[in-house]
Structure 1
Amino acid sequence: MKKVFYIFLSILCLCFIFFNSSQNGKESNVRSNNVVEKVITDIKESDISIPTISKAHINRKEFNLVIRKFAHGFEFGMLSIILFRVFSFFVLNKNNAMIYSLFLVLIAAVSDEFFQLYISGRNSSIKDVVIDFTGGVIGIIVIRTLILIKNKYMNRSIKNIITLL
């Protein structure tokens, strides 16, 4: 059942990525500008000190670009985590699962940029493929780190139980 769930989740994630890419430049910009305005409002209303962002003047255009690139990296990071889980069910070697996941993330990133060539107001960039793939690599690092931590504490708990016996 877990296999089916993660396969479905990976397809859903890919659909989400390509849905976002299918929006024309204006629609996409409106969505990211809404996020930027919300973040800026929250920063201005908070007591948080962010040295790189002056509360008096925030360059919305640059901040919008940062938010958009971060979102791209995050989407592909999530995709790599989900794909790693899928391949972990079918491949015994976790390193192979990692390689297969990153390979599919790279294919998805290149396909996504190719797809954007045909969307009004959108463009394609090698830099975006690098950002997407980097997000995928970070996702793999996160999931592998979490697995290592889980295994470390799980082994410690098992050793404690065995010692008590």
Structure 2
Amino acid sequence: MLKKHWISFILVILVIFFIWDNSLQNDISSDSLSLMITQQVSPILYKLGITGDIWSLNRIVRKMAHVFEFAILGGCLYVALHQFNREYAGLKVIAIGFFIAFFDECLQLTSIGRNASIRDVAIDTAGVIIGVAIVQVILSIYRCIRHK
């Protein structure tokens, strides 16, 4: 059972490294990757009614990537902490997620052509909250099914 607990913490560490690795990319590398993804998903965005030039869509994709990667972090971190201490686990995860997001923005200051943004810290923290909420819903459904 203890091995299972460590796996969740290793997963959290890998997600954090992934996030921070993205922040350490220079502006050209970061823009190239996000533009490539934007070009791939733009037909889907258009069908959803989200329109604009490629640069506007790229900005949306970049912000959604922040939400997505931090939602994964929030979910994984919640699972990891919830195994050991359930009391206020969600609030602890949100606080930890906020500090990881803040440090992430500070890391971007060390990358050529990148800058830091309080707005991105808020977007990242919102992603953490979404990840925690999703895992809490999944755990609640699991508990209901298990008790029936």
User: How many residues were matched structurally?
Assistant: 146
Aligned to 1:130: 122
2:48 equivalent to 1:50:
yes
Partner of 1:163: none
Show the 5 A alignment for 1:104-115: 104-115=96-107
Residue 95 (structure 2) aligns with: 103
User: CA RMSD, aligned part only?
Assistant: 1.6
Q: What is the CA deviation profile of residues 51-79 of structure 1, one whole-angstrom value per residue up to 9, with x for unaligned ones?
A: 333xxxx4110100010001111111111
Q: 1:14 aligns with which of 11, 16, 22?
A: 16
In 1, the alpha carbon distance for the partners of 2:131 and 2:83 equals: 18
- Equivalent position to 1:117, from 109, 116, 121: 109
Question: C-alpha distance in 2, partners of 1:59/1:100?
Answer: 40
Deviates more, 1:21-30 or 1:141-150: 141-150
Structure 1 counterpart of 2:41: 39
Alpha-carbon distance change, 60 to 11 in structure 1, aligned in 2, over 3 angstroms = same
Q: Secondary structure at the match of 1:102?
A: helix
CA–CA distance in structure 2, aligned partners of residues 140 and 92 of structure 1: 13
Per-residue Cα deviation, 1:13-58 (whole angstroms, up to 9, x for no partner): 0100000000001100000000011113x549xxx843333xxxx4
Does 2:89 align with 1:91?
Answer: no
CA distance in 1, matches of 2:83, 2:49: 45
If the length of structure 1 is used for normalisation, what is the TM-score? 0.83
2:4 maps to which residue? 2
Q: Percent identity?
A: 30
SS at match of 1:90: coil
* Structure 2: gaps (5+ residues): none
The alignment's TM-score, normalised by the length of structure 2, stands at 0.92
Structure 1 ranges of 4+ moved more than 2 A: 48-53
CA distance in 1, matches of 2:75, 2:48: 30
Q: Distance in 1 between matches of 2:47 and 2:112?
A: 39
Code of the residue aligned with 2:89 in structure 1: it is: A
* Unpaired segments ≥5 residues, structure 1: 157-165
- The aligned residue for residue 161 of structure 1 is none
Per-residue CA deviations over 1:99-136 (Å, capped at 9, x if unaligned) read 22111101100000111112111010000000000000
